[in-house]
Amino acid sequence: MNQLFNEIAFVENLQYERIIDDILTKKYSLVENFFTQDEVLELRQSLLDKHEANAFKKAAIGNRVNEVIEKSIRGDVILWIDENRTDPLEATFFKKINNLVEYLNKTCFLGILHKEFHYALYPEGTYYKRHLDTFQNDDRRKLSFVCYLNEDGWLPENGGELVLYLDENGVETEKVIYPFPGRVVIFESQILEHEVKPVNAKRLSITGWLKTR
Ligand SMILES: O=C(O)CCC(=O)C(=O)O
Ligand SMILES: [Fe+2]
């Protein structure tokens, strides 16, 4: 009996519990300090270095086998991060993601087996029109995850708000989220339509999806 208990025992994580509760009740969760200030600073520098080295490409719509570049829909540039070829900093990033995934799988039986993440940079004047993060030929994305890497002091006039379109008892409401550094937003990929408002200053992030099968 004791042995059985040990096997199923696990340490409750209050931050993760809040994320789960938020997603169950509101379809999204906003977490202020998922990554430390130092991690955000280093990830931002890593993004900027890679962008400087011309590693980014224009983001497409559709998935990787079926992609179309459509600047009137989205104008960001991205760089996919290969988990098998990470630098130590990105390895730390994935360690935190994997901890969360493990917890979600244990407590919510979400069956997350795959994930994909990319750096994203929205140049001035770009945006991402209202959309869902799933594709006609692929419904494996369950949770969308966005982590903002902007500098401290991001101003409302910089634009670039993430707007989540929520359904409150049949009435559509807008949840406006400013891309302040260190913030993480997690939401239901198949349920919540959302958009990125036009940006008036370079907007930096890592975006990813937790996927089934
Ligand atoms: O950067 C954001 O706030 C959201 C990005 C997004 O919607 C996407 O990449 O699908
Ligand atoms: Fe999206």
Using most ligand atoms within 8 A of CB, pick from 56, 64, 149, 207 the residue to mutate for ligand 1: 207
* Structural domain boundaries enclosing 121: 13-212
Using most ligand atoms within 8 A of CB, pick from 74, 132, 144 the residue to mutate for ligand 1: 144
Q: Give mean pLDDT, residues 157-174.
A: 96
CB neighbour list of residue 44: distance below 8 Å, 6 or more residues apart: 149, 150, 151, 181, 204
Residue at 4 is within a domain: no
Residue at 81 is within a domain: yes
pLDDT at 28: 98
Residue at 90 is within a domain: yes
Could you give the CA distance from residue 188 to residue 4 in angstroms, rounded to a whole number?
34
Ligand 2 ion local residues (Cβ < 5 A): 133
Whether the per-residue pLDDT at 2 is higher than 70: the answer is no
At residue 135 the predicted structure's pLDDT band, cuts being 50, 70 and 90, is confident
Residue at 8 is within a domain: no
CATH number of the domain encompassing residue 72 = 2.60.120.620
pLDDT at 109: 85
Helix, strand, or coil here: 14? helix
pLDDT at 60: 83
In the block, which residue shows the tokens 């990813």? 208
Render pLDDT for 70-103 as a digit per residue (tens, 0 to 9): 778 999 999 999 999 989 999 999 999 999 999 9
Helix residue ranges, H only, 27-159: 37-52, 88-108
pLDDT at 7: 62
Domain count, the chain: 1
